[in-house]
Amino acid sequence: MTDQTKINAVWKRLAEMPHRTLSELFANDADRVANLSQRIEADLGELGQVGMLLDWSKTHLDDALLHAFEEMADASEFASAREALFSGGIVNPTEGRPATHGAMRGSGTDADVEEAQALLARMGMLVEAIHEGALGEVKHLIHIGIGGSALGPALAIDALTRDLKLIDVHVVSNIDGLALEQAFAACDPATTLIAIASKTFTTTETITNATSALNWLADNQVTDPSGRVIALTANPEGAVEWGVDETRILPFPESVGGRYSLWSSIGFPVALAVGMEDFQAMLAGAQMIDNHFREVNGRANAPLLAAFGDLYYSRVRGCQTRAVFAYDERLALLPDYLQQLEMESNGKSVRTDGQPVEGTTAAVTWGGVGTDAQHAVFQLLHQGTHLIPVDFIASIAPGDELDPAHHRNLLMNCLAQGAALMAGKQADDPARAYPGNRPSAMFLIDDCDAATFGALIAFHEHRTFAGAVLMGINPFDQFGVELGKTIAKQIDSGEGEFDASTNALMQAAGLRA
């Protein structure tokens, strides 16, 4: 049982603790860098290596705060919640489900892992058959899905195919037909497959886009358009009913949440683009972080430490947002991916016991790519009135093959920003002064390869889960997205009463006479 009284008492204590500046924290602890940073690494044999240095020393966390958060983790029954996650416990109580995305990478109950491996083996056979030409010449894949059925694949493909792309993949999510038209323009219908990715197989955007994609194939003399379709879903019956041949359905378990589904058959386009070996490396990198998260306790547990920082800034320091800047073009889509992961998971206002949450929950996640963002939004980070904790992500190995000056400059800029945010600068002219004392954390990865990428994503999944446990909320449901969908259907059907503003807008938009 979580001890809410104790949790409340710890929050009260945290709120009363003095706010030390970053320079005071460094001055008072000669071992601060060693204490608040760690290297996580593993040799995954043929699948590669993972190495990343995580540095939380430029945040305001100190020993007293960390002790308090560790007490909070104990009072929140963090260890048993974590064990429940990996052992098939009902960690999604509002939907009465476990969350078995970990099993897709080998972390779960024997039965869940066995099922996951069988499903992935099936996916692997299809991927290899396509690569070997069993479905004829395939040059392009249009992957249609939205939210968790699109963001993970889009990110992974963008991150991992800069050197070599086995198949040209276009991820289309928006119901705005322009998105699909753009994909059509880039593909030859005679050599294009369509993947329909939808956990529920009911999502309006995806089904509408899939219908138009089949029409496009038919309109372009493809003789058997539905023979070019592969469904990735937890609702195989729905896919069959829609017209997908059973042999081309790659199912995944209902207990794998949409925004946690990259590791399942939703990752099919990734496997097709990078090959099964790299897909397996991605899973292995993620499993390595699962092992760390499962086995290490207290502040040495890196995702838990990150969650301590997140909660400290959002609840104790009142930060409403958290920014993520990838100093790596390959990770340009990471902020978008993390937005869904963190905001859909932890943007809640009731606890699992049904009581209102006291204090804020997920911060608004936003970000961009460095160095571009330096010339656009960093002004506010350095001199604005908001306190915004920043995560920087950079790779020691370059992704490009140009003059090493490019990568050297990229890394120098990344490190300079963290140093500048922290140190600030005094000046006689107030407009030219930098207050400093602004926090940042650093992920310095050895390379942006498949295994390290998997580790990075799994890290953020566990960071999100750890934050949810500490806040007492369920990260695995998303009822907040339903009301808008229902009202859109009411507008479509012409039923339902609307407010005066919406009525007027419907008329102006031509949706109502």
Q: How far is the CB of 185 from ligand F6P (least distance, A)?
A: 24
Closest CB to ligand F6P among 173 and 374? 173
23 Cβ contact partners less than 8 Å away, ≥ 6 residues apart:
422, 423, 436, 437
Pairwise CA distance, residues 233 & 178, whole Å: 25
Cis peptide preceding 371, ω within 30 of 0:
yes
Pairwise CA distance, residues 509 & 18, whole Å: 54
Residue of 240, 238, 232, 235 lying closest to 266 (CA atoms): 232
Task: Look at the chain and count its residues.
Answer: 513
Q: Does 33 help bind ligand F6P (rule: CB under 6 A)?
A: no
Closest CB to ligand F6P among 149 and 374? 149
Q: Does 209 help bind ligand F6P (rule: CB under 6 A)?
A: no
**Candidate residues 118, 300, 481, 504; the one interacting with ligand F6P per rule CB under 6 A:** 481
Strand, coil or helix: 97: strand
Q: Is 17 exposed, middle or buried (0-12, 13-18, 19+ CB in 10 A)?
A: middle
Q: How far is the CB of 259 from ligand F6P (least distance, A)?
A: 5
The answer to whether 444 touches 394, Cβ cutoff 8 Å, is: yes
**Candidate residues 2, 346, 365, 478; the one interacting with ligand F6P per rule CB under 6 A:** 478
Size of the site for ligand F6P (CB under 6 A): 14
**Candidate residues 203, 280, 365, 452; the one interacting with ligand F6P per rule CB under 6 A:** 203
Q: Map residues 105-144 to x or -, x wherever contact with ligand F6P holds by CB under 6 A.
A: ----------------------------------------
Q: Map residues 239-268 to x or -, x wherever contact with ligand F6P holds by CB under 6 A.
A: -------------------xx---------
Pairwise CA distance, residues 397 & 449, whole Å: 10
Amino acid at 330: R
* 446 DSSP β-pair partners: none
Catalytic member of 70, 342, 344, 461:
344
Closest CB to ligand F6P among 146 and 171? 146
Question: Is 344 a known active-site residue?
Answer: yes
Q: Does 199 help bind ligand F6P (rule: CB under 6 A)?
A: yes
**Candidate residues 59, 149, 437, 464; the one interacting with ligand F6P per rule CB under 6 A:** 149
Closest CB to ligand F6P among 36 and 231? 231
Closest CB to ligand F6P among 233 and 374? 233
Pairwise CA distance, residues 344 & 346, whole Å: 6
Q: Does 206 help bind ligand F6P (rule: CB under 6 A)?
A: yes
Q: How far is the CB of 355 from ligand F6P (least distance, A)?
A: 24
Closest CB to ligand F6P among 203 and 440? 203
Residue of 177, 209, 215 lying closest to 196 (CA atoms): 209
Region of 11-19, 198-206, 275-283, 324-332 interacting with ligand F6P (CB under 6 A): 198-206
- 256, 376, 394 from 444: Cα distances, Å: 29, 23, 5
Pairwise CA distance, residues 191 & 222, whole Å: 9
Closest CB to ligand F6P among 406 and 479? 479
Q: Does 146 help bind ligand F6P (rule: CB under 6 A)?
A: yes
Q: Which segments of 87-140 does DSSP mark as H helices, in order? A: 110-131
Pairwise CA distance, residues 334 & 505, whole Å: 35
Q: Map residues 401-440 to x or -, x wherever contact with ligand F6P holds by CB under 6 A.
A: ----------------------------------------
**Candidate residues 51, 147, 267, 309; the one interacting with ligand F6P per rule CB under 6 A:** 147
Strand, coil or helix: 318: coil
Q: Is 27 exposed, middle or buried (0-12, 13-18, 19+ CB in 10 A)?
A: exposed
Q: How far is the CB of 151 from ligand F6P (least distance, A)?
A: 8
Question: Is 292 a known active-site residue?
Answer: no
Question: Is 131 a known active-site residue?
Answer: no
Residue 185 CB neighbours (<10 A)? 8
Catalytic member of 139, 386, 406, 485:
485
Q: Is 221 exposed, middle or buried (0-12, 13-18, 19+ CB in 10 A)?
A: exposed
Catalytic member of 12, 16, 295, 375:
375
Half-sphere exposure of 195 (CA within 13 A, CB side): 37
Q: How far is the CB of 343 from ligand F6P (least distance, A)?
A: 11
Q: Which of residues 260-319 bind ligand F6P (CB under 6 A)?
A: none
Can you read off the two tokens belonging to residue 39? 């290297």
Closest CB to ligand F6P among 210 and 451? 210
Closest CB to ligand F6P among 72 and 146? 146
Q: Does 198 help bind ligand F6P (rule: CB under 6 A)?
A: yes
Q: How far is the CB of 475 from ligand F6P (least distance, A)?
A: 12
Residue 286 CB neighbours (<10 A)? 29
Residue of 127, 159, 57 lying closest to 452 (CA atoms): 159
Residue 465 CB neighbours (<10 A)? 26
Q: Does 173 help bind ligand F6P (rule: CB under 6 A)?
A: no
> Which amino acids are annotated catalytic?
344, 375, 485
The site for ligand F6P (CB under 6 A) is made up of: 146-149, 198-200, 203, 206, 258-259, 344, 478, 481
